[in-house]
Amino acid sequence: MNDELQHLKNLGKTSAQWLHAAGIHSASDLRRLGAVGAYQAVKTRGFRASKVLLYAIEGALLDMHWNDLPLERKEALNQQLDAKNPTQKKTK
């Protein structure tokens, strides 16, 4: 099977499976939802994804390794996530 998501930087088999289960099947789906929206979709499906998945998706959208994302970008993603889930327990 040729899985478009697995060809994106940072996304492996498990990440791609989680994204597919959340209804995200292509890079264009990821771009449409953005990193925060895609991460939330995965979490809503009950997967125990860490913040690394959030950063990995953002890195995939920017074609860069997630660990190379600037700290400011990671903080901005976390703020967006917190704004969409104000009562959710904060995890690192």
User: What tokens were used for 63?
Assistant: 């074609």
Q: How far is residue 38's CA from residue 35's CA, in Å, rounded to a whole number? A: 5
Picking from 40, 37, 36, 45, the residue whose alpha carbon sits closest to that of residue 17 is 45
92 versus 23: which is more confidently predicted?
Answer: 23
Give the model's pLDDT for residue 89.
55
Please state the pTM of the whole predicted model: 0.88
1-50 pLDDT, tens digit each? 468 999 999 999 999 999 999 999 999 999 999 999 999 999 999 999 99
Domain ranges of the chain: 4-84
CATH topology of domain 4-84: DNA polymerase; domain 1 (1.10.150)
